Amino acid sequence: MNLRNIWLLLAIAGAVVPWYYLAGFLAANPLDIAGILAASTVNDVGRGFVADLLISSLVFWVYMFSRRPDGPAPWPFIVINLFIGLSCALPAYLWINSGRRSRQNT
């Protein structure tokens, strides 16, 4: 299995696994953004994970915009990051980018 296929599998897993857990929360609590934020920041551990995710997302966005002339357009991956999650957006970006690079090298 090549690295490009690994990026694709990780993007799929990054979409499915977090939403599996979020679906359980949403089944018990209709779409309630305030409730999601309250549940994810109920203690210092949760706040630490949220801070890590926000900082990691910001780093990813800055990286994408810095690579803009050579890399894929960043906006679709920002939408994926916001509505699905970083665990899907980052490997999806790497998957698309690796395909672009392999076409440029041939």
Look up the pTM and report it.
0.86
The answer to whether residue 85 is domain-embedded is: yes
The answer to whether residue 18 is domain-embedded is: yes
The answer to whether residue 73 is domain-embedded is: yes
| pLDDT at residue 17, rounded to an integer | 97
- Per-residue CA distances from 41 to 47, 49, 75 (Å): 5, 9, 28
Query: Count of CB atoms within 10 A of residue 77's CB?
Result: 23
| pLDDT at residue 100, rounded to an integer | 74
Q: How far apart are the first and last CA of the chain?
A: 20
The answer to whether residue 50 is domain-embedded is: yes
Count up the domains in the chain and report the number: 1
Kindly state the greatest CA–CA separation across the chain: 51
Q: Give the model's confidence band at 102: pLDDT under 50 very low, under 70 low, under 90 confident, else very high.
A: low
The answer to whether residue 106 is domain-embedded is: no
| pLDDT at residue 70, rounded to an integer | 83
The answer to whether residue 92 is domain-embedded is: yes
Q: What is the mean pLDDT of the chain?
A: 92
Residue 21 structural domain: 3-101
The answer to whether residue 39 is domain-embedded is: yes
